[in-house]
Amino acid sequence: MLDFSRIDMTEFTNEIMANVKMPDVSTINTDNATIVQQKMNNYYSRGKQ
């Protein structure tokens, strides 16, 4: 039986964490605000979303 608690995964996790690209939160917030505004404009100008 394989006992994962005895395996040292430090090198593996360090490599993954070094290559992870976190999203830019300000860009996501700006994009979401733009999408909401467009949907509101569409709703009031055309009556549909």
On whether residue 14 sits in a domain, the answer given is: yes
pLDDT the model gives residue 46: 85
Q: Is the whole model's pTM more than 0.75, yes or no? A: no
| 16: phi then psi, degrees, rounded to nearest 5 | -65, -50
Query: Is 1 within a domain?
Result: no
Judge whether 2 lies within some domain.
no
Report the number of distinct structural domains present in the chain. 1
Residue range(s) defining the domain that contains residue 40: 9-47
Predicted confidence (pLDDT) per residue in 1-49, tens digit: 889 899 999 999 999 999 999 889 999 999 999 999 999 998 889 865 5
